[in-house]
Structure formats: C-alpha cells, structure tokens
C-alpha cells in the first residue's frame, strides 16, 4: 500500500529521472544537429550545455523562481503574525523553518521552493494576507510546508528552469534550421529535406514535451499536499475555505507565467475553463471543487465539520 514515505521516495526518483531525461534529450538534439550540419563541435556544446543546466537547475533554481515571482524576503519583525503561524506549523511538522518571502501583489496565492528542507522558502502574496483569516492562512501555509516535507519542491522547482531552457533551445534549433549554415551540397536533396523536416519536428515537439512534464509533476501532488495539510492543522475546513476564496478572486498575478504556474497553490491564471476530460488533462491544478470535496468529504465548507 502506498504511504507518504513511499511517495517521498518516488519524488526523489522522479527528480533524478527528469534530470536524466533532460540530459539525454538535449544530447540527442545535439547529436542530430551535429550530424545535419556536419560539425561535431555542436555535439560537444550540447553535452556541456545539458550538464551545466542540470547542475544549475539543482543549485540555483529556487533563486531563479523567487526572482521571477518578485518575492522579497521578510523578517519576524516585519510580519510577526505570519512568522509565528509558520513557525508553529514547522514545529508541529518537525521541519526546519523555511525562509519567508512576500510578493507585493493583490492576487491571493502562495508557493514553496527549494531543493530540500534545509534550503527551502515559502512565498505568499500580500493579497493572500489581506484576504484570509488566521485558520485559512494556516491551512495555506500547512499546504506549502507539506510540499517541503513531501519532497515535492525540488522537482517542482527544477521543472521551471528546465521548461524555460528547453523552450529556448527549441527556438534556437528552429531558427538554426532556417538560417543555419548547413552544407546544402552534401548528400542528396531528398535526404537534406528529410533532415530539415526532422529537425523542425524535434524543435516543435521540445516545448510540448516540456509542458507534458510540467503537468505530470503537479496535479497529484496538490491532492497529497492538501491531505497532509489537513492532518497537520487538524482543520481541513480552513484550507478548503482558503481555496474557495483564492479561486474566487477575479484578477491574475502581475508576474504570472506558464513556466512556474504549477508551483502555486492555485493557478495564477484566471478565466472560464471547460470542465471536459480533455480540458482537465492540460490544467496544471486539479479543479478547486474536487480539492474542496476531498477535504470536506463532499459537503460545503460552511456546513458542520465531519469527524476527521
């Protein structure tokens, strides 16, 4: 039977698998490009690039994510109530206190980042602090701490960097296919055409593969983090009410971007979404109604509590 601990182990395995797949994919693209352009130096460049990107994404991806979001680090003196709530939850969860950040944005949202418990950070928006009461805020923070404790944050953070670099790489290959200095006289014209088409297909598929990876690592983790937060706070209605308020906000985050959308507790993008199966397949988050239903046992958040 699957447990929290087996899920944590799987998260670590998936992280290394993702980084290995990225390494292999980039090297393959480099090999293909070097074969097409007749220049082995291209392959060496791609090998070095893939190794450096894996190293860079492991050690510095959290700093990139925080910079992208516009988060500013705060101290206990600046936000004493928020700090105390987070500190008390950390004591209850038995984990080290993460760095605390505030995003100056009226849209309510939050995320956790870092490579492990000792190098973790939690960021919340000013809008979240303004909108939620204490029990709701506690539920959101418990959700983010659950991502840290469940070892979700490393793979979720690395995906941001790898998705960005894969997209840039595919754009580079696409431009090179049109404007590169390939030897047009080498081989038959039919073979040259096949190589160009294959190169374009690979370049076009690269960002699609990145998006599929991004979706695969996020949705199930949200349900697990919700359940872990409910166990930590002993009050699932707090998180359920917070999710209802967050999803009901009409605006978007000022710095919302698709590369890190999966990291937030709720999608930073708003608008009407279809409820069909195909639409759900391309959502970075499970529908809020499903998450609230899982937390409350199918009842509304304003109905009497069920026995936990």
Angle at 161 between CA 39 and CA 129, to 5 degrees: 165
Q: Which of 98, 86, 158 is nearest to 128 (CA)?
A: 86
With a CB cutoff of 8 Å and minimum separation 6, the contacts of 110 are: 122, 123, 124, 125, 128, 140, 141, 143, 144, 264, 265
Residue of 144, 222, 252, 290 marked active site: 144
With a CB cutoff of 8 Å and minimum separation 6, the contacts of 188 are: none
Indicate the DSSP class of residue 264.
Answer: B
The pair of structure tokens assigned to 152 is: 């979700």
State CA 180 to chain mean position distance: 34
Q: Extract the runs of DSSP E, i.e. beta strands, from 3-97.
A: 71-73
144 is catalytic: yes
The pair of structure tokens assigned to 154 is: 């490393």
Based on the number of CB atoms within 10 Å of its own CB, is 8 exposed (0-12), middle (13-18) or buried (19 or more)? middle
Catalytic residue set: 144
């Amino acid at each position: 039977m699957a447990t929290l601990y087996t899920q944590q182990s799987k998260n670590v395995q998936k992280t290394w698998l993702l980084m290995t797949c990225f390494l292999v994919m980039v090297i393959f693209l480099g090999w293909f490009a070097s074969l097409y352009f007749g220049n082995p130096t291209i392959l060496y460049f791609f090998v070095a690039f893939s190794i450096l990107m894996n190293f860079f994404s492991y050690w510095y991806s959290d700093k990139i994510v925080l910079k992208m979001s516009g988060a500013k680090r705060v101290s206990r003196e600046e936000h004493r109530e928020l700090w105390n709530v987070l500190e008390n939850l950390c004591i209850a969860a038995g984990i080290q206190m993460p760095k605390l950040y505030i995003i100056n944005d009226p849209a309510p949202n939050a995320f956790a980042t870092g490579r492990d418990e000792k190098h973790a950070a939690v960021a919340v928006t000013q809008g979240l602090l303004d909108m939620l009461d204490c029990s709701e805020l506690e539920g959101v923070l418990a959700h983010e701490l659950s991502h840290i404790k469940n070892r979700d944050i490393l793979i979720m953070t690395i995906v941001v960097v790898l998705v960005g670099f894969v997209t840039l790489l595919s754009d580079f290959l696409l431009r090179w296919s049109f404007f590169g200095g390939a030897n047009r006289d080498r081989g038959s014209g039919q073979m040259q055409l096949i190589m160009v088409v294959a190169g374009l297909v690979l370049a076009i598929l690269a960002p699609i593969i990145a998006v599929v990876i991004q979706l695969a690592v996020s949705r199930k983790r949200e349900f697990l983090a919700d359940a872990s937060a409910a166990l930590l706070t002993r009050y699932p209605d707090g998180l359920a009410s917070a999710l209802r308020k967050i999803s009901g906000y009409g605006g978007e985050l000022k710095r919302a971007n698709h590369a890190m959308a999966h990291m937030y507790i709720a999608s930073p993008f708003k608008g009407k979404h279809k409820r069909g199966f195909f639409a759900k397949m391309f959502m970075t988050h499970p529908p809020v109604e499903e998450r609230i239903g899982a937390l409350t046992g199918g009842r509304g958040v304003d109905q009497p509590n069920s026995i936990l």
